[in-house]
A and B are shown apart, each in its own frame.
Chain A
Amino acid sequence: MKVAQLVAVLAVVAALAFVPNLQDATGFAPYYLIYGYFVFFWIAQATSWNILSGYTGYFSFGQGAFYGLGVYAAGDLVTREGVNYFLTIPIAGVLAAALGAAIGALAFRLGSLRGEIFALLTLAVTFTLASVAALSTWVDGGQGIALTIPDYPSFLGEFQDLIYRLGLAVAALAVVTAFLIQGSRFGWGLFSIRDEEGVAEELGVPTFRYKMLAITITGFLGGLSGAVAALQIGYLTPEGVFSLNVPLLVVVMCVLGGRQHWLGPVLGALVIYSLQEQLTNSGFGEWGQVILGGILVVVILFAPEGLYARLRDDPRRAVLAGVTLVVTMLVAAFAGWGIVTDWVGTGLAAATLVLLVGGRRGRRRSLEERRDLAASTMGDAAAP
Chain B
Amino acid sequence: MNTYVQAGVSGVMIGGLYAVMALGLSLTWGLLRIINLAHFALILLGAYVTYELTTSTGADPLLAALVLVPSMFVLGVAIQWVIERFQVDEFNSLLLSFGLFIIAIRLISNIWSADFRQIEADENPYASRALFVADIAFPVPQLMALGAALVFAVASFVVLRRTYFGRALRALAYDREMAAAFGVNPRRIGMLAAGLASAMAGVAGVLIGVNQAIFPQLAFEWVGLIFAVVILGGIGNLLGAVGAGILIGLVAGLVGVAWTPQGAPLVVFLLLILALLFRPNGLFGRLGAS
Taking Cβ atoms with an 8 Å cutoff, the residues of A that contact B are: 59, 106-107, 110, 112-113, 115-117, 119-121, 123-125, 127-128, 131-132, 134-135, 244, 248, 251-252, 255, 286-287, 289-290, 292-297, 300-301, 304, 367, 370, 378, 381-382
Contacts and interface: CB of A to CB of B under 8 A. Distances in A.
Contacts of B173: none
A227 to B, nearest CB: 24
Given A124-B272, A127-B269, A290 B107 contact: yes
Given A59-B94, A106-B277, A119-B94, A289 B223 contact: no
B265 interface: yes
A287 B94 contact: no
A120 B227 contact: yes
A117 B96 CA distance: 17
B100 interface: yes
Interface stretch (B11-19, B80-88, B141-149, B204-212): B80-88
Contacts of A381: 175, 177
Contacts of A135: 260, 262-263, 266
A297 B262 CA distance: 34
Contacts of A127: 224, 265, 269
B99 A134 contact: no
A42 B55 CA distance: 43
Contact of B87 (A293, A370, A382): A370
**Chain B, interface SS category:** helix
Contact of A304 (B92, B94, B223): B92
B131 interface: no
Contacts of B224: 123-124, 127
Interface of B: 35, 82, 86-88, 90-92, 94-96, 98-103, 105-107, 109-110, 175, 177-178, 220, 223-224, 227-228, 231, 260, 262-263, 265-266, 269-270, 272-273, 276-277, 280-281
A238 to B, nearest CB: 10
A59 B95 CA distance: 10
B231 A117 contact: yes
A134 B105 CA distance: 24
Contact of A112 (B105, B227, B280): B280
Given A286-B106, A289-B102, 14 more contacts: A59-B91, A59-B94, A110-B280, A116-B91, A120-B276, A124-B273, A131-B262, A131-B266, A292-B102, A293-B98, A293-B103, A293-B106, A295-B99, A297-B100
A304 B103 CA distance: 19
A113 B223 contact: no
Most central of B105, B107, B231, B276 by chain A CB within 10 Å = B276
Given A112-B280, A289-B103, A290-B103, A300 B175 contact: no
B270 A116 contact: no
Contacts of B95: 251, 255, 296, 300
A286 B100 CA distance: 16
Contacts of B101: 293
Contacts of A292: 99, 102
B270 A128 contact: yes
Contacts of B96: 296-297, 300-301
Nearest to B103: A293
A59 B101 CA distance: 18
14 contacts: A116-B90, A117-B280, A120-B231, A121-B276, A131-B262, A132-B266, A248-B98, A286-B106, A293-B102, A294-B99, A296-B96, A296-B98, A301-B96, A382-B178
